[in-house]
Amino acid sequence: MRLGLWVAACAVAMLAGCAKPRPPLYLWESFPRQQYDALQRGGAGAQEQIAALEEHVVKARAQNAALPPGLRAHLGMLKLSIGDPGEARQLWQAEKLAFPESAPYMDQLLKRLDGPVTKAEKPA
In one letter, which amino acid is 73? Answer: A
Using pLDDT thresholds of 50, 70 and 90, give the confidence band for residue 16: low
Say what the pLDDT of residue 122 is: 56
Domain boundaries, the chain: 27-115
Q: What percent of the chain has pLDDT over 90?
A: 60
**Of 98, 104, 100, which is closest to residue 68 (Cα–Cα)?**
98
Using pLDDT thresholds of 50, 70 and 90, give the confidence band for residue 108: very high
Model's pTM, two decimal places?
A: 0.75
Say what the pLDDT of residue 60 is: 96
Q: Cβ-count burial of 11 within 10 angstroms (0-12 exposed, 13-18 middle, 19+ buried)?
A: exposed
- Mean pLDDT across 75-87: 96
